[in-house]
Structure 1
Amino acid sequence: MAKIKPQALLLQSKKKKGPARISLSTIVTCNIIIVLIVLSLYATYRHWHHRASNGSAEVENFEHSEKLGESTRLDLPSYAILSTAKGTINVELYKDASPDVVEKFVNLCQKGHFKGMLFDHVIKHFVIQGGSSQGSGVAGDWILKGKSHIQHAISPKHEAFMLGTRKTNKDSKEFELFITTAPIPDLNDKLIVFGRVIKGEDVVQEIEEVDTDEHYQPKSPVGIIDIVLKKEA
């Protein structure tokens, strides 16, 4: 095998091409891409960090509002004592189940709204009612429908000796007050039950037995003298 002379090797090495140079435009393009990737990652981080902060704030606000609502319910009285010409009626208020209605009732009590309120409609085996400024209110609905002898499924809130009012506009200043003397489930869509009599059922029954005219209005006035609110029974 013939030997390659050193001069030939030198010539061959000169003929080999060196590594290709990277152009300036390629370098600039790569740097721009890297910068865009970094900015994109930073923007993504900021977005999710902002959402997490907002989520925490919303949770805190929700918890704060719930605590305020719970605080308001805890501040409401739990019991009301109705003084009438026939005796006293002790009522437990459903401040957890009907906080808005109980709050309105309490506010009206504090303003003396119920002092001297007459039970203007008394229907045996149905309801004693006061404060119906127009027509006969709940009692009138019962009379017009003629449902006093119809049987219905009964739930606890439909029982006798429940304290309630008519469903009205939230801003309405009217507040009918009634105490049932028998279950009345067929008027459920028109009534809001927000308490129950725990003492004085005999007083309710005595009022129920007063003489009334053909319009179920007591012939001798009987009503609420005053209402005292209490935290404990």
Structure 2
Amino acid sequence: MARIKPQQLLIQSKKKKGPSRVSIPAILTVALFTLFLIFSLIGTYRHWHNRPKNQAEMDLTFERSDLTTQTEKPSVPKYAIIETGKGAIKMELYKDASSDVLEKFIELCKKGHFKGMLFHHVIKNYVIQGGESQGDTAPHDWILNGKNGAKLTTSPKHEAFMIGTTKLNPNRKGFDIFITTAPIPDLNEKLLIFGRVIQGEDVVQEIEEVDTDEHYKPKSPVGIVDISLKEDL
């Protein structure tokens, strides 16, 4: 057996003890993991850093939403049905009418204020009045003014079959209802129109034909049974 020279043994020993090489895929894997860890730490830091600000904005948004919900007014019904002793009168409510008048009318309807209310003045070819009477002199004055102003130009909201009330007086708790049976230009300064008859004109005309005394009061009682509010007909 041939002997290995000492110099060759030394060379073989150095080769065995030399460090092993690291592969390129391993280096890339470690680098990617390090980058992922760094980005994860940055994202976590930003999330916790911005959380109080976002939470405050969310709370403010919820508060504004609650405030808007509380301040929103309920929607105004589109129609009202007046049940009378002669039949039903269906009316369209004017949303652009005086808000005070419309809100008062709707409030009284919901309270049943108009149940059993009489039409206490019926003036043929002019107006039907129900509600709290203002005295016997008012209809006389109105009929004279109506005759004198018959040639005046009328606006659409003061034609026949319009529904309105007298201008609200803070000292009065009542509410009058007027249904016009002819154009009434002279009442522009007296009536606030808040609706018009869209069905039941024949009922209005039947009420208009009842017999009245010299003060335009019906000899036989005729009035409102009830008024209901509707979104659709």
CA distance in 1, matches of 2:116, 2:148: 29
CA distance in 1, matches of 2:143, 2:121: 11
Counterpart of 1:197 in structure 2 is: 197
The answer to whether the Cα contact below 8 Å between 1:142 and 1:148 also exists between their aligned partners in 2 is no
The answer to whether the Cα contact below 8 Å between 2:149 and 2:185 also exists between their aligned partners in 1 is no
Counterpart of 1:169 in structure 2 is: 169
Cα shift readout 1:182-226 (whole Å, capped 9, x = no counterpart): 000111101100000000000000000001111110010000001
The answer to whether the Cα contact below 8 Å between 1:133 and 1:174 also exists between their aligned partners in 2 is no
1:104 has 2:104 as partner: yes
Shift of 1:174: 1.6
Counterpart of 1:228 in structure 2 is: 228
For residues 149 and 208 of structure 1, do their structure 2 counterparts lie closer, same or farther at Cα, with a shift above 3 Å needed?
Answer: farther
Q: How does 1:17-28 map to 2 (within 5 A)?
A: none
| Equivalent position SS for 2:122 | strand
Counterpart of 1:20 in structure 2 is: none
Tell me which moved more, 145-154 or 162-171.
145-154
RMSD, matched Cα: 2.3
Shift of 1:228: 0.7
Shift of 1:118: 0.5
1:82 has 2:101 as partner: no
For residues 138 and 180 of structure 1, do their structure 2 counterparts lie closer, same or farther at Cα, with a shift above 3 Å needed?
Answer: farther
Shift of 1:144: 5.2
Counterpart of 1:14 in structure 2 is: none
TM-score by length of 1: 0.66
AA in 1 matched with 2:173: K
The answer to whether the Cα contact below 8 Å between 2:146 and 2:184 also exists between their aligned partners in 1 is no
Q: How does 1:180-195 map to 2 (within 5 A)?
A: 180-195=180-195
- Once the two structures are aligned, what percentage of the paired residues are identical? 65
CA distance in 2, matches of 1:137, 1:191: 17
Q: How does 1:143-182 map to 2 (within 5 A)?
A: 143=143, 145=145, 147=147, 150-170=150-170, 172-182=172-182
Aligned residues: 167
CA distance in 2, matches of 1:227, 1:101: 16
Cα shift readout 1:47-83 (whole Å, capped 9, x = no counterpart): xxxxxxxxxxxxxx9xx99x95xx43x6121110000
Cα shift readout 1:130-158 (whole Å, capped 9, x = no counterpart): 11333047534313546366311011111
CA distance in 2, matches of 1:165, 1:212: 22
For residues 151 and 165 of structure 1, do their structure 2 counterparts lie closer, same or farther at Cα, with a shift above 3 Å needed?
Answer: same
Shift of 1:111: 1.2
AA in 1 matched with 2:189: D
AA in 1 matched with 2:220: S
CA distance in 1, matches of 2:123, 2:171: 29
AA in 2 matched with 1:133: S
- Misfit runs of 4+, over 3 Å: 143-146
1:95 has 2:74 as partner: no
Cα shift readout 1:83-127 (whole Å, capped 9, x = no counterpart): 011000000011233222111001111111111110000011001
The answer to whether the Cα contact below 8 Å between 1:163 and 1:180 also exists between their aligned partners in 2 is yes
Shift of 1:178: 0.8
AA in 2 matched with 1:83: E
The answer to whether the Cα contact below 8 Å between 1:115 and 1:227 also exists between their aligned partners in 2 is yes
AA in 1 matched with 2:150: I
TM-score by length of 2: 0.66
CA distance in 2, matches of 1:153, 1:144: 17
